[in-house]
Amino acid sequence: MLVLMLVATLQLCSMARAQPLCRIHTVRTGKTFGVGQQAQGDLLYFSFMTTRLIKHPCKKNIALYLGRQLFFTTNNFESSLLPFAIPTSMQVGIPEVTSAHFAGSVLLLVVNQKVYIYDYEASSWSASTGIKHPVSHISGDNCCYSEHPFCLEISNSIFAYVHGDQISQANIYFSKSWGYRFQKYAHEGQAELVGSLGGIFYFHSLSQVGLLLIDQGRAKFWYLDHPLNYSFGLPFDYNGTLDILITPGQKGILIFWFEKSLLISKNAGQLVNPVRVREGRRTLHSIFEANITIYNVAANENELAVLTQESNLYYGSLGILTSFLIKFAHQNIWSQEAALMFTNPGMLEILTPLPDSVFPAFDFQKCPVNIQAILMDPQLQVDVCKVEILQGDFDNKMYIIDMNSELELTALMIPRPGTSPVPLATVSNPHSLGLQAIIYEDGYTYEGNTKYRLNISLRQQHLWGRTDPNFTSSIKRPTISTITVDIANKEISCVDLKPLTALISVGCDLTKKIIIQNEISACYKGFLDPVALQDNYSYVIEKEAYDPNFRGQPATKDLVVHYPYEKLGCPLLVYYNTPWKPVMELSDSPSLAAASVLMAITTSQGPGRLDSRHDCVLVLEIPSPRSRSR
């Protein structure tokens, strides 16, 4: 009996180990409803041997698959698709794609060394203008926090360049219009740099433009704006041709990868370190030492996944202090057309296009991976998450701080009983944005768990008065920074416990206006009646009192003037022998019935400067008493 029980136990253990990583299914829909026709135009193909899958960071159902065929989807590949084609009228020649990027509501593609735009909302194609030399790559970013102009304009900034050009002679182009129009970009000091160009990126979370310089197997970032333009980022090993992935969320996280190299930066390239691999409790080792051949990489705001040619899947968390991968159970999931994508936090898919022998449209083989369920496997030896709740009202929002004001944020943390996790608050741009955080106990839950409250004060760094002036360099220009609240050394099992993030703009708030308070008016003092003013009120300027041509000659007849009360309100009352001193205040009132004067205050920009999005436009308004500002 004991032997039978032992055999049964071994069989159960074997079955548990044999549980598949994911269950494969095939998407085959819509072929009888409009996808039976042939693709119109020149079929695009990706120039590299490995596949890529690019997801729109804000519109989660929009993605582009790049391989021997390209596929564009607006429903996460939940239907069969024809290969992606560019109209023959665009005359692209060789339809080879070397780079692609989503910018707002358009898809940018480098086809045969030229930039083309596909507006997927209008289903229209166009060619970029202004680029006079061949290019191979484009780079940009997107902001998904709000509809504020500061956020939306981040997607406008696009670079186009040739990867591998000598940096001193590289032709770099910049666009502030989603890539529709480019202009030559050059920066002082570029001609003296040594090495080849590995990429140029606008790191909005650091308010910097960074050029990646490659020289003799080493690479480092050169930053163009004050105060980082006085030094380079720390150099790191550059093996092969690294693909650089900017993760969503404006946190400055960069993923560098090649077949035998996987690196990560948490601060927009200032420090770049190798990603290590953990197998159980064993010592961490690098990708190269683990004899892994990387084929595809996917990342979202907080997670990283790697598919290898050895048909293994690796997973990691992009926490503040964690940068390692763990290996999942082996399953035959790799193919030359396979690609990874995150569909939701903790949900990963392995996608493979499948040709059809009858229809020109391709089906899609999907292998969904539930990360949280797999991490519960005791063989992975993953520690239990020590935090039950981490939340804050500021998460996924955008705030604007005037240069001499302060912002207060609050986060709540509830740990598991018997644990003492440490919350951390960090900013992506410490030269610009300073913070002060205080944590204290804030009562108990119904189950008896202690609640902790984290109070965070944010202010422009040079105003704190606690840092060396050489660090902040007295930055007074408008900047952007991301604040992140996470748990130090958070367990990889905390899949659902994502960090709290918010985007902070330090500078001019375009929604505010200068208001002149109108406390004394002719109506307020009873000299004029508002009802009479609204009834087509007019007044007469006698001909002796005005000069119509400003030539020192009186008019020949009186002038009758209609008074537009709806536009001007009641007239101000000013005594002839008392100077009028208006009271001004800054207001964000959404509607003000007043006569307005537009006053644009713009910063002086030299060639190649990219801070035009921070120009201030203020409105000077004189409201009537009935529309007085708060």
List pLDDT tens digits, range 542-584. Answer: 888 878 777 777 788 888 888 888 888 888 777 666 665 655 5
Query: What is the DSSP annotation of 43-68?
Result: EPEESSSS-EEEE-SSSTT-EEEESS
What pLDDT does 152 receive? 84
| Number of neighbours of residue 141 by Cβ within 10 angstroms | 22
Tokens of 468: 């060396």
Give the pLDDT mean for 287-307. Answer: 89
Whether the per-residue pLDDT at 615 is higher than 60: the answer is no
β strands within 104-247, DSSP E: 106-111, 114-119, 124-127, 137-140, 158-161, 172-175, 183-185, 196-203, 208-215, 218-223, 236-237, 243-246
Whole-angstrom distance between the N-terminal and C-terminal Cα of the chain? 85
Give the pLDDT band (50/70/90) at residue 585: low
Q: Kindly tell me the sign of the dihedral angle through the C-alpha atoms of 284, 288, 293, 299.
A: positive
Number of Cβ within a 10 Å radius of residue 414: 19
Give the pLDDT confidence score for residue 378 in this predicted structure.
Answer: 86
Q: pLDDT, tens digit, for every residue of 426-482? A: 999 999 999 999 999 988 888 888 999 999 999 988 888 777 877 887 777 889 999
Q: Confidence band (pLDDT; 50, 70, 90) for 606?
A: very low
The more confident residue out of 189 and 502 is: 502
DSSP E strands, 162-278: 172-175, 183-185, 196-203, 208-215, 218-223, 236-237, 243-246, 254-258, 261-265, 273-274, 276-278
Q: Is the pLDDT of residue 618 over 70?
A: no
CA dihedral for 104, 97, 207, 317, sign (positive or negative):
positive
Cis geometry, peptide bond prior to residue 378 (ω within 30 degrees of 0): no
The dihedral region occupied by 104, where left means phi > 0, alpha psi between -120 and 50, and beta the remainder, is left
pLDDT of res. 586 = 57
Pick from 250, 249, 306, 310: which is nearest to 274 by CA?
306
Tokens of 34: 């409009």
Residue-by-residue DSSP string for 214-226? EETTEEEEEE-ST
- pLDDT, tens digit, for every residue of 188-237? 888 889 999 999 999 999 999 999 999 999 999 999 988 898 888 999 99
Q: How many CB atoms lie within 10 A of CB 88?
A: 11
What digits encode the pLDDT tens for the residues 55-109?
999 998 999 999 999 999 999 999 999 999 999 999 999 999 999 999 989 999 9
* Alpha-carbon span 84 to 427, nearest angstrom: 40
pLDDT in the model for residue 74: 95
Q: Which residues contact 494 (CB under 8 A, 6 or more apart)?
A: 317, 385, 386, 387, 487
What is the pLDDT confidence band of residue 620, given thresholds at 50, 70 and 90? very low
Q: Could you state, in order of their start, the residue ranges of all structural domains in the chain?
A: 387-506, 512-604
Q: For position 581, what pLDDT does the model report?
A: 60
The answer on pLDDT for 156 being more than 80 is yes
CB atoms within 10 A of CB 179: 31
pLDDT value, residue 13: 38
Express as a percent the part of the chain with pLDDT over 70: 84
- pTM, rounded to two decimals: 0.80
3-state SS, 514-534, equals: EEEECCCECCCCCCCCHHHHH
* Core vs surface per residue 21-49: b (16+ CB within 10 A) or e: bbeeeebbebbeeebeeebebbbbbbeee
Name the band, by pLDDT with cuts 50, 70 and 90, for residue 5.
very low
Residue 449 per-residue DSSP state:
P
- Asked whether the predicted pLDDT for residue 4 surpasses 70, the reply is no
User: What proportion of the chain, given as a percentage, has pLDDT over 90?
Assistant: 53
Q: Which of the four pLDDT bands, split at 50, 70 and 90, describes residue 255?
A: very high
Q: Which CATH code of 3.40.50.300, 1.10.3720.10, 2.60.40.2020, 3.40.950.10 fits the domain covering 387-506?
A: 2.60.40.2020
pLDDT value at 320 more than 80: yes
Confidence of residue 607 (pLDDT cuts 50, 70, 90): very low
Asked if 204 and 141 count as a contact pair (C-beta separation under 8 A), the reply is yes
Q: Is the pLDDT of residue 53 over 60?
A: yes
Task: Write down the mean pLDDT value for the chain.
Answer: 84
Cβ contact 44:109 at 8 Å: yes
Contact indicator for 83, 363 with CB cutoff of 8 Å: no
- pLDDT, one tens digit per residue, over 341-391 is 999 999 999 999 999 888 889 999 999 999 999 998 888 888 899 999 999
Range name among 25-29, 132-136, 174-178, 590-594 with the lowest pLDDT average: 590-594
- Rounded mean pLDDT of 577-604? 45
Beta carbons of 264 and 275 less than 8 angstroms apart: yes
- 48 in Cβ contact with 330 (< 8 Å): no
Which is nearest to 113 in space by CA: 91, 135, 89? 135
Q: Which tops the pLDDT comparison, 329 or 104?
A: 104
Listing DSSP states for 315-373 in one string gives EEE--SS--EEEEPPP-S---TT-EEEEEETTEEEEEEEE--SS-SSBEEEEEEEEHHH
Edge-to-edge strand ranges of the sheet holding 52-55:
52-55, 63-66, 70-73
pLDDT number for residue 162: 96
Task: Write out the H or E segment, with its range, that includes residue 481.
Answer: strand 479-487
Residue 609 has pLDDT above 60, yes or no: no
